[in-house]
């Protein structure tokens, strides 16, 4: 079994919880309580391999024992960095987060191995009449920062959301950090402890 940790990051209200809930339950739910950060767990099979996925959904509001962005970046093997196509400031935040991930998690590495562990996602495509970020801008940022790019709508697209999460799990499992940890922890039962040490927070199974 392969343990994969994915952090879904981005500014407040871009649809991080909506994307996660859509992926885990197939449903789009209009409003989400966001008073605490959560780690959701799911088993999934990709290319015949079983993966234990841990999905981290941060809390944008101040909350007790909240982890820092640096901690979240160090914790994860793969990243879904979300912005809202109808909110330019969320795009600028996504840009800054991608930059930080490259610096902190990947140590500025130029290895091709690390290229695919960040997905840049423009959400709320259904709001294209209010669009503030062109698709081309998203694509350009992704290619400059060596990320993969998706534009979709948690509200309207289920298959695309599943494809996007499957992609990050597959890429993260091939990426350097997950491989390294698998090697180090093989035969160990310390995953749960590791996660609790970093976040000391709630875990949810769906």
Ligand X SMILES: Nc1nc2c(ncn2[C@@H]2O[C@H](COP(=O)(O)OP(=O)(O)OP(=O)(O)O)[C@@H](O)[C@H]2O)c(=O)[nH]1
Q: Which residue number, 123 or 173, has a Cβ lying nearer to ligand X?
A: 123
Q: Checking DSSP bridges between strand 49-57 and strand 38-46, what pairing results, if any?
A: antiparallel
Q: How far is the CB of 31 from ligand X (least distance, A)?
A: 6
Per-residue x/- mask for ligand X, residues 119 to 158, rule CB under 6 A? ----xx-xx-------------------------xxx---
Span interacting with ligand X, options 15-23, 35-43, 71-79, 97-105, rule CB under 6 A: 15-23
Q: Which residue number, 24 or 178, has a Cβ lying nearer to ligand X?
A: 24
The helix/strand/coil state of 186 is coil
- 8 A C-beta contact, residue 40 and residue 179: no
Q: Which residue number, 106 or 164, has a Cβ lying nearer to ligand X?
A: 164
Q: How far is the CB of 95 from ligand X (least distance, A)?
A: 16
Per-residue x/- mask for ligand X, residues 151 to 170, rule CB under 6 A? --xxx---------------
Q: What token pair was written down for 162? A: 């599943």
Q: How far is the CB of 75 from ligand X (least distance, A)?
A: 18
Q: How far is the CB of 176 from ligand X (least distance, A)?
A: 28
- 8 A C-beta contact, residue 94 and residue 11: yes
List the alpha helices (DSSP H) in 36-84. 69-75
Give which of 82, 86, 84, 83 is closest to 132, Cα–Cα.
86
* 170 vs 86: CA distance, rounded Å: 29
Q: Is 27 in the site for ligand X (CB under 6 A)?
A: no
Q: What token pair was written down for 74? A: 């160090």
Distance between first and last Cα of the chain: 18
Site for ligand X in 34-73 (CB under 6 A): 34, 60
Q: What angle do CA 134, 55, 118 make, to 5 degrees?
A: 40
Q: Which residues bind ligand X (CB under 6 A)?
A: 10, 12-18, 30-32, 34, 60, 123-124, 126-127, 153-155
């Amino acid at each position: 079994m392969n343990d994969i940790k994915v952090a879904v990051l981005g500014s407040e209200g871009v649809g991080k919880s909506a994307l996660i809930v859509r992926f885990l339950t197939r449903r789009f739910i209009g409003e989400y309580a966001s008073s605490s950060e959560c780690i959701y767990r799911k088993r999934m099979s990709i290319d015949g391999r079983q993966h234990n996925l841990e999905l981290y959904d941060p809390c944008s509001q101040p909350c007790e024992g909240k982890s820092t962005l640096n901690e979240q970046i160090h914790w994860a093997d793969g990243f879904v960095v979300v912005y809202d196509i109808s909110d330019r400031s969320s795009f600028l935040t996504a840009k800054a987060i991608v930059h930080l991930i490259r610096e902190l998690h990947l140590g500025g590495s130029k290895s091709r191995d690390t290229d695919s562990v960040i997905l840049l996602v423009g959400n709320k495509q259904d709001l294209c009449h209010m669009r503030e970020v062109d698709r081309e801008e998203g694509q350009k940022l992704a290619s400059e920062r060596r990320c993969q790019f998706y534009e979709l709508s948690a509200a309207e697209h289920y298959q695309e959301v599943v494809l996007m999460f499957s992609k990050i799990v597959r890429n993260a499992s091939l990426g350097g950090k997950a491989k390294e940890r698998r090697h180090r922890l093989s035969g160990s039962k310390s995953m749960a402890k590791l996660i609790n040490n970093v976040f000391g927070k709630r875990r949810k199974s769906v």
